[in-house]
Each structure stands twice: as structure tokens, then as C-alpha cells.
Amino acid sequence: SIPIAKQLASIKALGKGSDLEKAFATVALVYNNSADPEGKLSKAETKSLLQTQFGGFIQGQENKPKYQEIISALDEESENKIDFEDFMILLVSLTLMSDLLQEIKNVKTTK
């Protein structure tokens, strides 16, 4: 498989893209590289992708009620597959409750 950085570089519209545009393009590429031909992920693939690509945000969150609610909702999903829209909602939800987000907010932006 082609590395994400190389895939990103091949997208001409992102040549002068902002950090935010490149971040979202990276999310889309990571998702697409794991998705099936219909553009969806199984629940097991979703969990695996979260563990391998989003571990910093979910590490240590297992005992939080909100985390358990999000993951159990994933387990109870009546449809077996997760589409990109649901995946993005999942990422945002996990980010908002993450301890890492607080650490990011505390990063100094000036010298």
C-alpha cells in the first residue's frame, strides 16, 4: 500500500492546502484505505482503526461513561457497517471527551 504522505502529496488541490485541509484529507485517506469497495467499515475494522490510528485520543478513556456509551453504541449499531459520515462523528465524539484534547488546549501558542 502507498503511504498516506505520498497519497496526500498526489492530491494537486492540496498543494498549497492549509494544515486543517491536510488533516481532514488525511482522515479521509486513512478511512478510504481501510474501507471496503462500498466505502464502509465493519464494526471490527472500525475498532481496529481506532486502536491503531487514534490510540492517543482513546488511551485511558475506557472507564469514562461517555467512552463506554460511544463504544457500546458502535457495538449495538443495527447496521453492520460504518460509513464515512458516521466515522467522522465517532472521531469527533471521541476527541471531545479525550484527556488528550485538554492537553492540546493547554499547548502554548506564543513564545
C-alpha cell, 94: 471521541
Express each pLDDT in 5-50 by its tens digit: 898 888 888 888 898 999 999 999 999 999 999 999 988 889 889 9
- Nearest alpha-carbon partner for 34 in 70, 11, 43: 43
Whether the full predicted model's pTM is greater than 0.85, yes or no, is no
- Tell me what the mean pLDDT of segment 102-109 comes to: 86
Distances (CA, A) of 45 to 37, 51, 87: 14, 10, 11
What pLDDT, on the 0 to 100 scale, is given for residue 53? Answer: 93
- Residue 17 has a pLDDT of 86
Mean pLDDT of 77-92: 86
When the pLDDT of each residue in the chain is averaged and rounded to a whole number, the result is 88
